[in-house]
A and B are shown apart, each in its own frame.
Chain A
Amino acid sequence: MSEPKVREMTPEARRKVRAFLMTVPALAVLALVLLAPLVIVVARSVTEPQPGLENYRWFFATPVNLTVLARTFKVAFWVTLLCVVVAYPYAFAMSVAGRKLRLLLILCVLVPFWVSGVVRTFAWVILLQDSGLINKTLLAMGFEKIRLIRTQTGVTIGMVQILLPFMIMPLYSVMRGIDLRLLLAARSLGARPVASFFQIYLPLSLPGVFAGATIVFILALGFYITPLLLGGASSTLLSTLIQQQVLSLLNWGHGGAMGVVLLAATFGGLLIAAPLMRRRYPVTGGER
C-alpha cells in the first residue's frame, strides 16, 4: 500500500525521509538514556515526598541555594571568558601554523584531553595545594604563599584547563575557513594591521567563539569532580549540592528540583545567546 505513495514523493522528500531514518538509532539511545531519566527527575521533583511544588518553594526560600546558583553561574562565566582569552590566540596559531607545528599544537590540546578529568584534577591538587609546586616556587623566589586550593580561583584554574579543548576546537575549525587573503585585501584598501584584525578577522571568527563559549559554559554549569576536589565549603557549586541531597540525604525531591532549576536556567541562557550565534550574512553559493 505504501509503494505508490513512495513513488509520488519528490527525490528531495525521499532524501529527507531517508536522512531521518538514519537518525533513528541515535534518537532511540537519546530517548533511553537522556529523556527517560529526565522525565523521572522532573516527576520526582513534583511528587516526593508529596505531590505539589513544595520542593521548588524550598529551593527559592533557602538562601544558600540561591547563593550557590549565582556562584555556579559566576564561575561558569569566568571559566568561559578565560577559555576564550586563552584559546583565541592558540587557535589562531594553529590555523596559520605549518604542518608540523600544527600537529604539535593539536597534540598539546588532545593529549591532556585523553587523560581522565579525575586524574587531571588530582594533578591540579598537587600543583595548587599549600605545599604544592606553585607555592613552593613562590616561596623559593621570596614571595608569600597564596591560597589556591579550596578557593574559587583554584576551581576556575582547574576548570579552564579541563574545558579548554572544547573552546579551541570549534574556534580552530572556524578560523581554518577564514581566507587570510582577506586581511591582505584590507591592508591594500588602507587598513592598518590592527584595524584589519578587528574589522575583518574578528567578526568572521565570532561564530567559532560563540560555539565554543556555549559548549564551555554549559559544561561548566554542571561540572562536578573538579569543583569538588579543588573547591572548599565557600566555593561549592550547584552540582555538589545536588549530589549531597540525592546521595547523602536521599532527598530525591529536593535534588530533582535543583536539577530542573539548573536545566531551566541553562536553557534561559541559551535562549539569550542564540540570536548572537546566528550569522547575519550568507556564506555559501559563491559561484552561481
Chain B
Amino acid sequence: MMPLQASTPETATRRTPDRIPGAAVGIDRIRKTYGSYVALDDVSLTIRPGEFMSFLGPSGSGKTTTLNVIAGFTGHESGVLKIDGREIDRVPPHRRNIGVVFQHYALFPHMTVAENIAYPLRQRRIGRSERHAMVGAVLEKVELSALAGRYPAELSGGQQQRVALARAMVFAPGLMLLDEPLGALDKKLREALQLEIRRIHRELGSTFVFVTHDQEEALVLSDRIAVFNKGRIEQVASGEELYRAPKTLFVGQFIGESTVLRGPHESRGDETALSVAGARIRIAARRPDAGGRQCLLLRPEDLRLCAPGSTAGGHENVVAARLREKIYLGASVKYEAVLTDGTVATARMPASGPSFEIGAPVDLVWSAGCGTLLDDPGA
C-alpha cells in the first residue's frame, strides 16, 4: 500500500491527543459544469488555518459541489485547489487526508461503532494496541464509550452523527468537511450537536468547512460564512457583517429578515433620495459608481411603528402603511405592514412598547442612517 501523504502512523499518533495544526485551503477560480449546467462558476475562496467556515446557500447553489471538489469526489474543469500551499487537484481522495462527515452519516452498517472509527486507522497500518487507544480516546471525546460494540442500526440519529464525527477526526486530519451533518435531526438535537461541534472544533484546532442551508446554524457555528448563489460566492464575511453590511441583495435577503424598498432614485450631495409608495425617502449613503436600479434594505429592528401623523418627519423617513400581521414572540412583537405600492415591510419592536391592531393604518418610521443601499438586480 502506498503511504498516505499527511499522517504516517507516527505523526498521526503524536498529534491525536493534542491540537492539530489546521490546514489552509485555497480555491482559485474553480469551474465545474454538468453539460450546459454551470455548477461552479469560477469560485475563488481562501480558508484560513483553524478557521470555522460555513458554506451557506439554497440547494443547487454550488456549496456541496465545492465541498466535493475539496474532498476529491468531484473533478473540476479548470482552476486550482491548494491545501497548505500544495496543489492537490491530481491527488486521489484517499491520499488527501481530509475528514469528511456525510449528510446521512455513511457509517458502514456491517461494522460496529469501534470498527467504524478504527477503519481510517487500519488503512494507515496503525498497530492494534495503538489503534485501540486512539479509538478509545476519540469515543470519549464524543461521549460514546458505552456504545463501542453497537452496530450503526442500533443507534439513534444523533448518536450515528457523533460516530461519523469521531470516525472523520480520529486520524487527526488538518481539514474537516461536514456536509449538512445535522440536516436529518430534529431541532433540539440539532442545537445540542451544534454546540458539540463548536466545542470539538475549539479543542481539535483543525480547519472546519461546514455546508448548510440553515442560516441560523451558520451564524451559531462560523467564524466566517461564504454565501453561495447559482454557482458563485456572493460574499464571504462574518455573520455580523453579512447581516449589517450585505454586499448584494441576495445576501441581505438570505440572511435574516428584511424589508426591501424599491423606486426611482437620484443622488444629491452625500445623500440618495428614493421615491417609494408616494413618499420621498432620504438615505444617508451614496453609491456614485452604481448605475441602474437601486433599492434600500432595512432590518426589522431599524423600523418603528407609529400612529398615523404622530411623527413630524424632519430628519426621519415616514411611510404610510396598513398593518397586516402581528406576531407575539415573547420579548418582542413582529409586525407585517403593507405599503400602498404593495411592498411588505417587517418590523420588530419590544413587546413592552405601544401595541397596534391588525388592519390599523400606521406610519413606518426610520432614520436616514439606517439600512443598506444595494443594486437591484430587477424584480
Contacts and interface: CB of A to CB of B under 8 A. Distances in A.
Interface string B88-122: 00001111111110101010111100000001100
Interface in B143-167: 151-157, 160, 167
A205 to B, nearest CB: 11
A185 B153 contact: no
Contacts of B109: 204, 281, 283
Contacts, number: 90
A286 B120 contact: no
B124 interface: yes
A190 B184 contact: no
Interface string A171-186: 0000000010110111
B120 A189 contact: yes
B1 A192 contact: yes
A24 B187 CA distance: 48
A286 B110 contact: no
B275 interface: no
A183 B45 CA distance: 28
A284 B151 CA distance: 10
A186 B119 contact: yes
A288 to B, nearest CB: 5
Given A189-B119, A190-B4, A281-B153, A287 B106 contact: no
B71 interface: yes
Interface string B71-93: 11100000000000000000011
Interface string B194-225: 00000000000000000000000000000000
A16 B25 CA distance: 59
A287 B119 contact: no
Contacts of A219: none
Given A184-B93, A188-B71, A190-B171, A195 B123 contact: yes
A184 B73 contact: yes
B120 A190 contact: yes
A195 B95 CA distance: 13
A285 interface: yes
B153 A283 contact: yes
A282 interface: yes
A279 B273 CA distance: 73
Given A282-B151, A285-B153, A287-B156, A189 B110 contact: no
Interface in A146-183: 179, 181-182
B152 A182 contact: no
Contact of A188 (B94, B124, B156): B94
A281 B153 CA distance: 8
Contact of B100 (A185, A199, A283, A285): A185
Contacts of A57: none
The residue among A185, A190, A192 with the most chain B CB atoms within 10 A of its own CB is: A190
B94 A190 contact: yes
A46 B154 CA distance: 52
B106 A182 contact: yes
A191 interface: yes
Interface string A189-203: 111110110011001
Contacts of A204: 109-110
Given A181-B106, A182-B108, A200-B108, A282 B153 contact: yes
B66 to A, nearest CB: 15
Given A186-B119, A188-B71, A287-B157, A281 B151 contact: yes
A15 interface: no
Interface string A26-42: 00000000000000000
A187 interface: yes
A284 B98 CA distance: 30
B148 to A, nearest CB: 15
User: 9 nearest interchain CB pairs?
Assistant: A190-B123, A189-B120, A185-B106, A188-B100, A282-B153, A187-B93, A281-B151, A181-B106, A187-B94
Interface of A: 179, 181-182, 184-193, 195-196, 199-200, 203-204, 280-288
Given A184-B102, A286-B152, 20 more contacts: A179-B104, A182-B106, A184-B106, A185-B102, A186-B119, A188-B72, A188-B73, A188-B93, A188-B96, A189-B100, A189-B167, A189-B171, A190-B4, A190-B120, A204-B110, A280-B110, A281-B109, A281-B111, A282-B154, A288-B157
24 contacts: A179-B106, A181-B106, A184-B73, A185-B106, A186-B108, A187-B72, A187-B94, A188-B71, A188-B94, A188-B96, A189-B119, A189-B120, A190-B97, A190-B123, A191-B123, A192-B94, A193-B94, A195-B1, A200-B108, A281-B153, A286-B152, A286-B160, A288-B156, A288-B157
